[in-house]
Amino acid sequence: MQVKVKLFATFRKGRFKEKEMELEDGCTIGWVIDHLRLPRRELGVVFLNGLSAADTKQLQDGDTLSIFPMVGGG
Amino acid sequence: MNHLRQDVIPERYIRNINAISAAEQAQLSEARVGVCGCGGLGLNVINYLARMGVGNITVWDPDVFSESNINRQLLANNKTLGQSKVEECRRYVHEINPDIKMTALPCRWEEGDPIIFNQQQVIIDALDNVPSRLALAEACERASLPMVHGAVGGWYGQVTVIMPGDKILETLYSDLGRSGIEKELGTLSFTAAIIAGLQAAETIKLLLNRKSELCSEICMVDLLDMGMERFKKM
């Protein structure tokens, strides 16, 4: 299946801004996060097709996944 | 602030009309907003709210200005180094409009009088650390107060409105005690001003019972690649 993955802010560094990824069926959001070596301690919010989603959620063909690092300054 | 007559607009607020109505301007003069944090975000939010004519503003922050604040904090300069942030803020707001009732509390919001906290109509999250933000969201939940969240790091920021019952902050900050990209990227003046501007806009909408899209959405701002995207919370 194909999933569009969008990375934001510091997660783009050394990776990409947006990419169509070919994934195996049953793949979860968490698998993508680990595959891209996104540090869990820096992980903020994740949106699947524009809705906030847990990393255990299974992806479907045609999904768009947006992954943000945590932002906490003021 | 002296209550405004609904049909007479003071000269200082004439340029707010017709973006808001005369009745809404009068409504703002009686509004009560609490701002937690008087730094990069908080000072800008208070500046915007005061110039909009919000009549009662309370701010909590125990800190004094230091040199590293000067890159982004509105009132930080060579003259104010070592001075109380909330006290400088109170003076500044008095210069904008002496009729605004500005309560400057030089303490952490958690240490202040809960009665004052509970009297607010809207709470602004202008804090700079994750545990305090999560605790503030809990306090707002307990007091059934809407909270306008804003956070910044480098060129990036986020804004949302958290209504009672909305647990979104736990999604944005899943583990206690961690910090965000601001530890690596610092905080830039314009990022703080823009996110604070968005927080002020949402606050005014809440006070005036206007529709706020960010009650159900999160706005993510990227000033480096110039993107602003909104996502549904659930």
Is A54 contained in some domain?
A: yes
Q: Is the peptide bond before B47 cis (omega within 30 degrees of 0)?
A: no
Domain membership of residue A14 as a residue range: 2-69
Domain annotation for chain B: domains and CATH numbers: 31-232 (3.40.50.720)
Residues of chain A neighbouring B172 (CB-CB closer than 8 A): 44-45, 70
Per-residue pLDDT averaged across B108-123, rounded?
96
**Residue B41: CB atoms within 10 Å:** 33
pLDDT tens string A5-47: 999 999 999 999 999 999 999 999 999 999 999 999 899 999 9
Task: Please give the structure tokens belonging to residue B33.
Answer: 């907003």
CA angle (A57 as vertex; B182, B234 as ends), nearest 5: 65
Q: Does B233 touch chain A (CB under 8 A)?
A: yes
User: Count of alpha carbons within 13 Å of A20, Cβ hemisphere only?
Assistant: 4
Residue A19 maps to a domain? yes
For residue A10, which residues of chain B lie inside 8 Å, CB to CB? 154, 181, 184-185
Q: Which of A68, A70, A74 sits opposite B128 (nearest CB)?
A: A74
Q: A74 and B39: CB-CB below 8 Å?
A: yes
Q: Which residue of B has its CA nearest to A8?
A: B222
Contacts A69 to B, Cβ<8 Å: 180-181
Mean pLDDT (chain B) is 94
Helix, strand or coil for residue A41? helix
Confirm whether A74 is domain-assigned: no
d(CA A53, nearest CA chain B) in Å: 8
Q: What is the pLDDT of residues B46-62, one digit of tens each?
A: 999 999 999 999 999 99
B129 Cβ under 8 Å from any chain A Cβ: yes
When divided into structural domains, chain A yields a total of: 1
A55: domain CATH number? 3.10.20.30
Residue A28 lies in a domain: yes
Alpha-carbon gap, residue B210 to B148, rounded angstroms: 15
> Is residue B1 predicted with pLDDT exceeding 80?
no
pTM (predicted TM-score) = 0.95
What pairing do the DSSP bridges indicate for beta strands A18-22 and A2-7?
antiparallel
Nearest residue on chain B to A70, alpha-carbon basis: B180
